[in-house]
């Protein structure tokens, strides 16, 4: 019997059957906006071949005013329908099923023409919506119905009506954004008229044998959101109106509680969906931070839902389901929930991809074909750059050996995984080991290599990473000064009062490590208490009346940078606020615009601004240097001096703005060309 009997069980919807319990949730990848429909079709077909039962496309606008941004994709013309036919044909040929999401952004539309129930501006948008009149509301409903009809014409198996995450429909449901006094506002019955009418009229228009998913906000996490009873009432009405499946939405985009970031515990919100089980007769899907077949199976086995939705895990590995079914769960490339290459790209207007899998959305661009002639390839450095190159090259048929001076693979990822809230990096390092083994890579760990060791290989790849930058601060040789490597890798003793020099990604991570005791990511009740999440049956909207209740900080930390800008400004677009909020909850003192004058036994002496004013001693027991990094090019330079051509990738190539995303991307792309 399979290890995942619940996950792999079919689901009979009456007029059609889903082959397993896995839905690929909607992701806005910006692929449609490229206009390259072969590329879009290949993205979905690749995932259909990977075994997922049903996919939902990125949100398609029902009309111009409802687009997330001006020019957002939708089914407006005959040509649009023909383009989408390419997707549905290719998915069906691959044995898959696909539904189109209809997304009306309402006041979240990045446009001065945005509309909503009332003229209440969102904190995450510069534009206040125009309040719709009766005619305007009818037009929005009609446009959504038309979009569903066109989706059917384009060959989709169904549609998902986006009713959560604070978009248009959700804005009607809660009094926070709906201030109307007509039949669309006021009482709860009036406020849920819009979703019910939409589902009813879509069902009428598309007929009975078409999947209609309604994405329901189960826990709004904003002031004056819905109570649990109200959520159940809406779910029951949506079922009566003709929905086939209810999918889960967690939190509005403007909520100040993380819902999908890596520090959110796995399956953190499955309990919310479980509360709906048995209250409706149609299948219920749960979602958020489900990223392994074990977690998904557990969620189903414990009755939290009938199906699971995973979105980003299908960027990381399109073959998730097939690998699970084949007993190769350890070979599933894990989504570490970093958002670095998916959501961060989406919000920067770039095409999404995946830190772990740069082929995501680039399926037509990065080949994975076998080579005609195998070469011997030496890779120096088993960090993410070297390992990605090695695995890709070996999968293509090359004979690859990876050397690393350390006795474990993973490079700097082994420090990242020590940080509370970044436990997913353990899984990433484990996957690198499993994938390297499966690809037949020879690992030579504990071996510092030099030029002589590399003679005789057809290709040499130098992925020797980085070394810490020397900030040249007088007194930095003192016994009270440590580097981030001392702290995270060597576990050096750190005092109670700490000054952290450098507020980049590593400075923030080290501060988090120093102030946190037990990681709340490892304990759902602790995490909920820390962020102030509660049961919406007890506290409206799931916001605890007590507010966030973080544990006291383990140490007193001052985090400093020379730039005068807000510390953390350059962290991830969609996750930086979480890192800043987490440190603020622990009372970390963040200082910008400092000059480091010296370090003495008393602490760190700083001044401020170009004029070096306001000299101050920051009293502390330990100073930790997180002042950035420089390339470790010693081997690359020595090879060059000997006339040996080598490919230099990752941090060894360029240290500035290096991260695992760039390191892996460079490694995979190089090996795809070898």
Report CA-CA distances (Å) from 620 to 127, 497, 584. Answer: 46, 5, 19
C-alpha count within 13 angstroms, C-beta hemisphere, residue 664: 24
Q: Which of residues 253-282 bind ligand SF4 (CB under 6 A)?
A: none
Residues 6 or more apart in contact with residue 477 via CB below 8 angstroms: none
Q: Is the separation of the CB atoms in 232 and 279 below 8 Å?
A: yes
Binding range to ligand SF4, per CB under 6 A, among 145-153, 320-328, 337-345, 509-517: 337-345
Q: How far is the CB of 30 from ligand FAD (least distance, A)?
A: 20
Q: How far apart are CA 102 and CA 210, in angstroms?
A: 14
State yes or no: residue 475 binds ligand NAP (CB under 6 A). Answer: no
The answer to whether 115 contacts ligand SF4 (rule: CB under 6 A) is: no
Of residues 566-605, those binding ligand FAD (CB under 6 A):
none
Q: Considering just the CA atoms, what is the radius of gyration of the chain in Å?
A: 26
Angle, CA of 308, 310 and 314, to the nearest 5°: 140
Q: Out of ligand SF4, ligand FAD, ligand NAP, none, which partner does residue 337 contact, by CB within 5 to 8 A per kind?
A: ligand SF4
From 151-159, 207-215, 281-289, 499-507, give the range in contact with ligand NAP by CB under 6 A.
Answer: 499-507
* 509 belongs to the binding site for ligand NAP (CB under 6 A): yes
Taking the complex as a whole, the smallest distance from the CB of residue 360 to ligand SF4 amounts, in Å, to 7
Dihedral pair phi/psi, residue 497, rounded to 5° = -115, 125
CB of 455 to ligand FAD, least distance (A): 15
Q: Going residue by residue from 289 to 328, which x/- string records binding to ligand FAD, judged by CB under 6 A?
A: ----------------------------------------
Site string for ligand FAD, 430-449 (x = CB under 6 A): ------------------xx
Is residue 332 near ligand SF4 by the rule CB under 6 A?
no
Which of residues 231 and 342 has its CB atom nearest to ligand SF4 in the complex?
342
Read out DSSP for 286-304?
E-SS--SHHHHHHHHHTTS
Give the SS3 label for residue 552. coil
3-state secondary structure 61-77: CCCCCCCCCCCCCCCCC
Q: With binding defined as CB under 6 A, does residue 382 bind ligand NAP?
A: no
Q: Is residue 482 a contact point for ligand NAP (CB under 6 A)?
A: no
Q: Which entry of ligand FAD, ligand NAP, ligand SF4, none binds 507, CB below 5 to 8 A by partner kind?
A: ligand NAP
505 binds ligand FAD (CB under 6 A): yes
316 binds ligand SF4 (CB under 6 A): yes
Candidate ranges 81-89, 267-275, 375-383, 536-544; the one touching ligand FAD (CB under 6 A): 375-383
Q: Nearer Cβ to ligand FAD, position 332 or 506?
A: 506
Give the active site residue among 167, 362, 484, 596: 167
Q: Which residues contact 641 (CB under 8 A, 6 or more apart)?
A: none
408-413's contacts with Cβ under 8 Å and 24+ in sequence apart are 408/445, 409/382, 409/433, 409/436, 409/443, 409/445, 410/382, 410/383, 410/384, 411/381, 411/382, 411/383, 411/384, 411/385, 411/386, 411/465, 412/383, 412/465, 412/466, 413/383, 413/384, 413/660
Whether the CB-CB separation of 275 and 300 falls below 8 Å is answered with: no
Task: Give whichever of 299 and 506 is closer to ligand NAP, judged by the CB atom.
Answer: 506
Residue number with CB closer to ligand SF4 (46 or 177):
46
Contact between 509 and ligand FAD per CB under 6 A: yes
The reply to whether 635 sits near ligand FAD by the rule CB under 6 A is yes
Q: Is residue 290 involved in binding ligand SF4 (CB under 6 A)?
A: no
Q: Cα(674)–Cα(672) distance, rounded to whole angstroms?
A: 6
Alpha-carbon distance 563 to 511, whole Å? Answer: 18
Size of site (CB under 6 A) for ligand NAP: 22
**Is residue 382 near ligand FAD by the rule CB under 6 A?**
yes
Question: Is position 404 an interface residue for ligand FAD (rule: CB under 6 A)?
Answer: yes
CA–CA separation, 302 and 292 (whole Å): 16
Give the residue closest to ligand NAP by C-beta.
504
The yes-or-no answer on residue 167 being catalytic is: yes
Taking the C-alpha atoms of residue 189 and residue 233, their distance in angstroms, rounded to an integer, is 9
Going by C-alpha positions, the residue among 34, 61, 59, 31 that lies closest to residue 46 is 31
Q: Tell which one of 145, 212, 304, 338 touches ligand SF4 (CB under 6 A).
A: 338
Q: Binds 427, which of ligand SF4, ligand FAD, ligand NAP, none (CB < 5 to 8 A, cut-off by type)? A: none
Using CB under 6 A, pick the residue from 503, 514, 588, 652 that binds ligand NAP: 503
Angle, helix 134-153 to helix 78-93, in steps of 10 degrees: 50
**Helix pair 78-93, 37-49: axis angle to 10 deg:** 30
Q: By CB under 6 A, is residue 505 in contact with ligand NAP? A: yes
CA atoms within 13 A on the CB side of 533: 25
Q: Which residues bind ligand FAD (CB under 6 A)?
A: 338, 340, 380-386, 403-406, 411-413, 415-416, 419, 448-449, 463-466, 488, 505-506, 509, 632, 635, 650-651, 658-661, 663
Q: Which residues bind ligand NAP (CB under 6 A)?
A: 340, 469, 471, 501-507, 509, 561-563, 572, 626-629, 657-659
Q: Which residues bind ligand SF4 (CB under 6 A)?
A: 312, 315-316, 335-342, 354-356
Positions marked catalytic: 167
């Amino acid at each position: 019997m399979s290890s995942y009997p619940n996950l792999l069980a079919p689901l009979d919807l009456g007029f059609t059957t889903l082959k397993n319990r896995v839905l690929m949730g909607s992701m806005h990848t910006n692929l449609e906006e490229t206009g390259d429909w072969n590329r879009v079709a290949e993205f979905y077909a690749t995932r259909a071949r990977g075994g997922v039962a049903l996919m939902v496309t990125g949100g398609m606008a029902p009309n111009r005013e409802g687009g997330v941004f001006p020019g957002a994709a939708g089914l407006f013309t005959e040509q649009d329908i023909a383009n989408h036919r390419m997707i549905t044909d290719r998915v069906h040929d691959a044995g898959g099923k696909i539904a189109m999401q209809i997304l009306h952004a309402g006041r979240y539309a990045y446009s001065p023409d945005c509309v909503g129930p009332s003229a209440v501006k969102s904190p995450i948008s510069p534009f206040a919506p125009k309040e719709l009149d009766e005619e305007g509301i009818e037009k929005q409903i009609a446009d959504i119905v038309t979009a569903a009809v066109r989706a059917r014409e384009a060959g989709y198996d169904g549609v998902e009506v986006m009713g959560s995450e604070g978009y248009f429909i959700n804005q009607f449901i809660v009094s926070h954004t709906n201030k109307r006094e007509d039949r669309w506002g006021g009482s709860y019955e009036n406020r849920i008229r819009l979703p019910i009418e939409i589902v009813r009229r879509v069902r009428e228009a598309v007929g009975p044998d078409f999947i209609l998913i309604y994405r329901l906000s189960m826990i709004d996490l904003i002031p004056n959101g819905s109570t649990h009873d109200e959520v159940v009432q809406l779910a029951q009405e949506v079922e009566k109106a003709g929905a086939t499946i209810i999918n889960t939405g967690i939190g509005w985009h403007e909520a100040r509680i993380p819902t999908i970031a890596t520090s959110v515990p796995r399956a953190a919100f499955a309990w919310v969906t479980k509360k709906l089980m048995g209250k409706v007769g149609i299948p219920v899907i749960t979602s958020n931070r489900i990223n392994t077949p074990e977690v998904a199976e557990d969620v189903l086995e414990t009755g939290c839902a009938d199906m699971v939705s995973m979105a980003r895990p299908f960027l990381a590995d399109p073959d998730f389901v097939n690998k699970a079914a084949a007993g190769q769960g350890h070979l599933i490339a894990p989504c570490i929930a970093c958002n670095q290459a998916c959501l961060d790209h989406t919000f920067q207007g770039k095409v999404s991809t995946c830190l772990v899998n740069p082929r995501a959305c680039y399926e037509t661009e990065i080949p994975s074909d076998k080579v005609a002639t195998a070469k011997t390839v030496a890779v120096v450095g088993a960090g993410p750059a070297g390992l990605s190159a090695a695995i890709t090259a070996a999968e293509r048929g090359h004979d690859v050996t990876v050397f690393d001076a350390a006795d474990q693979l993973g490079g700097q990822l082994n420090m990242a995984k020590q940080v509370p809230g970044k436990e997913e990096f353990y899984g990433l390092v484990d996957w690198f080991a499993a994938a390297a083994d499966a690809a037949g890579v020879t690992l030579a760990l504990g071996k510092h290599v030099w030029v002589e060791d590399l003679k005789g290989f057809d290709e040499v790849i130098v992925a020797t990473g980085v070394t810490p930058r020397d900030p040249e601060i007088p007194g930095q040789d003192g016994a009270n000064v440590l580097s981030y490597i001392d702290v995270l890798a060597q576990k050096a003793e750190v005092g109670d009062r700490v000054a952290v020099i450098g507020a980049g990604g590593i400075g923030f991570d080290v501060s988090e490590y120093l102030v946190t005791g037990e990681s709340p990511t490892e304990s759902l009740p602790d995490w909920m208490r820390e962020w102030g999440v509660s049961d919406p049956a007890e506290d409206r909207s799931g916001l605890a009346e007590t507010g966030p209740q973080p544990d006291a900080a383990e140490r007193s930390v001052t985090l400093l940078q020379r730039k005068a800008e807000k510390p953390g400004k350059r962290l991830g677009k969609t996750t930086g606020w979480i890192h800043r909020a987490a440190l603020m909850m622990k009372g970390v003192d963040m200082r910008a615009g400092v000059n480091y004058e010296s370090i003495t036994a008393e602490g760190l002496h700083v001044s401020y601004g170009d004029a070096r004013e306001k000299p101050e001693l920051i009293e502390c027991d330990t100073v930790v240097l997180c002042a950035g990094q420089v390339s470790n090019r010693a081997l690359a330079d020595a090879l060059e001096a000997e006339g040996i051509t080598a490919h230099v990738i990752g941090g060894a190539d360029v240290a500035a703005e290096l991260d695992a995303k760039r390191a892996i991307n460079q490694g995979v792309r190089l090996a795809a060309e070898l």
